Amino acid sequence: MSENSNYTEDNIRSLDWKEHIRLRPGMYIGKLGDGSSADDGIYILLKETIDNCIDEFVMGAGKTVEISIQGDRVIVRDYGRGIPLGKVVDVVSKMNTGGKYDSRAFKKSVGLNGVGTKAVNALSSYFRVESTRDGKSKSAEFQIGELQNEELLEETTRRRGTKVSFTPDESIFKKFKYRAEYVERMVKNYVYLNPGLTIVFNGEKFHSENGLKDLLEDNNNTDDFLYPVIHLKGDDIEIALTHSKTQYSEEYHSFVNGQNTTQGGTHQTAFREALVKTIREFYGKNYESSDIRKSVISAISIKVMEPVFESQTKTKLGSTDMGGELPTVRTYINDFVGKYLDNYLHKNPDTREALQRKILQAERERKELSGIRKLAKDRAKKANLHNKKLRDCRIHLGDTKKDRNLESTLFITEGDSASGSITKSRDVNTQAVFSLKGKPLNSYGLSKKIVYENEEFNLLQAALNIEESMEDLRYNNIVIATDADVDGMHIRLLLITFFLQFFPELIKENHLYILQTPLFRVRNKKETIYCYSEEERKNAMEKLSGKPEITRFKGLGEISPDEFQHFIGADIRLEPVMLDKAMSIEQLLSFYMGKNTPDRQKFIIENLKVEIDLVEEK
């Protein structure tokens, strides 16, 4: 045995709390990211901080939470009871320390592991906590988890509560940026789930009176609802649901103790089962489950005693029991839906008739498509087996029931050269490549039948595994990687149209992105800088003295695999595709992809004039 293989006491190392969090941040906050994705770590830090404020509200202490994000500095202030002053330092810097272990005080809290604010502290370059209660206050400041200053108790007239300020550590969260859209969505979910709570984010107030009913109506065009939202509430459960007139797939928003379980879990599965069971029994027909759930738009929130999640970021419920003397999650939800949805349908004939017509329509469409689906699946299977379109990765969502692989990505590329470069430079563990052949069809106004008849759409749907349900989505991130020219922009638009027309949940749930690739390469003998804008090019030229060489990239095919790995690796830049909340999906598609209306011509001319003016100024 070689000397290097000796295993002695010197090999054993003990990490303190902050070292462990900083060494393995993914264990505590999921993926890191730069803020372009809603589940990036900087939002988890914010959520962990807000969760403590929500727990105070639930306990009846403090009806307002104030959030300020200016640049990289985050400030969260509640008006709850305030941290006990003698424990201000401990609760943010000692693992397994917190009031939530005492189930008498926090029976149905989200954060039961005593880690939340410790992770925020350890992963922040600056962290400050201040507690006010009983006319006194105490504060402490930290840098990357190390206590820098602890202020002694002082008398104060300030209102009671807790104020936390932090700046995420840029050495961990590279070039991060908080996106207001993601923070607003998080804030809205908090107020939907806590009627009576007011959250003020950067001066704007958010409040909800009707809970999950407001969630569905705010997130969708109500003109597309087949019938008014059914809103059912119990002691530990709330459900809102309707069906869409135009949407094809199922849409679920699920929550446990105020936590948005984006990957569902036992409660969401139980609700889907309960919905089918109740509908079948009400109508006395053994309808197919897919016909009942087709086009459903719904939300469910339950409260569970000491919930068990299947990941540290709490995105999927694993608990099978409600806690205490209550039945299992499945039985509880089945009983509730079976009683209250049945009652609602008996009392609302217009809704029950509209719902049955929708189910029968779905049944007819399914039968009409059955033959086409079988042929389409066979074609997709052969194409995948021969590796014609999809270069898969080793790890994707289908490999584990425990946790979604947040890094799993599918790049949709155009042309053989671009596909080849990305394929050679990608991370084969988490990054897959789907190669398009030519421009996709404009799918606006077409029926779902076209998805199976069109080879490109059929193979793309098969690659994503989204025919039956979004729960089966194989990749967390779907990235459109096309040239930044007119043709590339057109392909982007056609792909976005396809997703909006048939799978809008992919965009609503923040799975779709545009890959940002550099426009210029500026280099001298010592350094190379890739620039994504004219401003970055100018800054690079100033930084590199002399006369640096400047290359203008015309397309992805010009970028070598060796260079491409810089753009799809740790420094990847993604631009999320987001819906304009001022327009419905139908309005959006009609305006951009419908007939050439005078309104769109005017829009193009006005924006073209802006571009010309900018060029002339340069």
DSSP 30-73: S----SSSTTSHHHHHHHHHHHHHHHHHHTT--SEEEEEEETTE
Are the CB atoms for 411 and 434 separated by under 8 Å?
Answer: yes
C-alpha to C-alpha distance for 21 and 270, rounded to whole angstroms: 35
**pLDDT digit string (tens) for 145-168?**
899 998 888 888 889 999 999 999
Amino acid at 171: S
C-alpha to C-alpha distance for 140 and 117, rounded to whole angstroms: 13
pLDDT band of residue 602 (cuts 50, 70, 90) is low
Q: How much is the average pLDDT of 335-355? A: 95
Are the CB atoms for 44 and 129 separated by under 8 Å?
Answer: no
C-alpha to C-alpha distance for 511 and 472, rounded to whole angstroms: 13
Q: Which DSSP letter does residue 317 get?
A: B
Question: In the chain, what are the domain boundaries?
Answer: 17-207, 212-366, 387-517+555-579, 520-552
pLDDT of residue 280: 96
**pLDDT digit string (tens) for 184-240?**
999 999 999 998 999 999 999 999 999 999 999 988 888 889 999 999 999 889 999
Q: What is the CATH number of domain 212-366?
A: 3.30.230.10
Give the alpha-carbon dihedral of 266, 272, 277, 278, to 10 degrees: 110
pLDDT band of residue 615 (cuts 50, 70, 90) is very low
Largest CA distance in the chain: 82
Which phi and psi (to 5°) does residue 88 adopt? -60, -45
Q: How much is the average pLDDT of 584-601? A: 63
C-alpha to C-alpha distance for 42 and 169, rounded to whole angstroms: 10
**Please, what is the average pLDDT of the chain?**
82
C-alpha to C-alpha distance for 151 and 131, rounded to whole angstroms: 11
Percent of the chain beyond pLDDT 90? 34
Q: Tokens 């799809």 correspond to what residue?
A: 568
Taking phi over 0 as left and psi of -120 to 50 as alpha, with beta for the rest, 301 belongs to: beta
Taking phi over 0 as left and psi of -120 to 50 as alpha, with beta for the rest, 38 belongs to: alpha
Q: Tokens 């009913």 correspond to what residue?
A: 213
Closest Cα to residue 298, out of 350, 248, 243, 227?
243
Tell me the β-bridge partners of 410. 432, 478
pLDDT: which is higher, 24 or 435? 435
The answer to whether residue 115 scores a pLDDT higher than 70 is no
CB within 8 A of 437, min separation 6: which ones? 456
The answer to whether residue 28 scores a pLDDT higher than 90 is no
* Topology of domain 17-207, CATH: Heat Shock Protein 90 (3.30.565)
C-alpha to C-alpha distance for 511 and 500, rounded to whole angstroms: 12
pLDDT band of residue 255 (cuts 50, 70, 90) is very high
The answer to whether residue 339 scores a pLDDT higher than 90 is yes
pLDDT of residue 616: 41
Q: What is the CB neighbour count within 10 angstroms for residue 13?
A: 6
Taking phi over 0 as left and psi of -120 to 50 as alpha, with beta for the rest, 201 belongs to: beta
Amino acid at 332: Y
Note the CATH architecture for domain 387-517+555-579.
3-Layer(aba) Sandwich (3.40)
Tokens at 405, concatenated? 């692989």
DSSP structure string for 371-390: HHHHHHHHHHHHHHHTTSSE
pLDDT of residue 354: 95
Tokens at 22, concatenated? 């900083």
**pLDDT digit string (tens) for 579-591?**
765 555 666 666 5
pLDDT: which is higher, 605 or 256? 256
Tell me the β-bridge partners of 69. 74
For residue 15, give Cα distances in angstroms to 12, 30, 95, 372. Answer: 10, 20, 12, 58
**pLDDT digit string (tens) for 300-328?**
999 887 777 776 566 777 767 676 666 88
C-alpha to C-alpha distance for 299 and 505, rounded to whole angstroms: 14
The answer to whether residue 400 scores a pLDDT higher than 60 is no
Return the axis-axis angle of helices 349-385 and 455-464, rounded to nearest 10°: 100
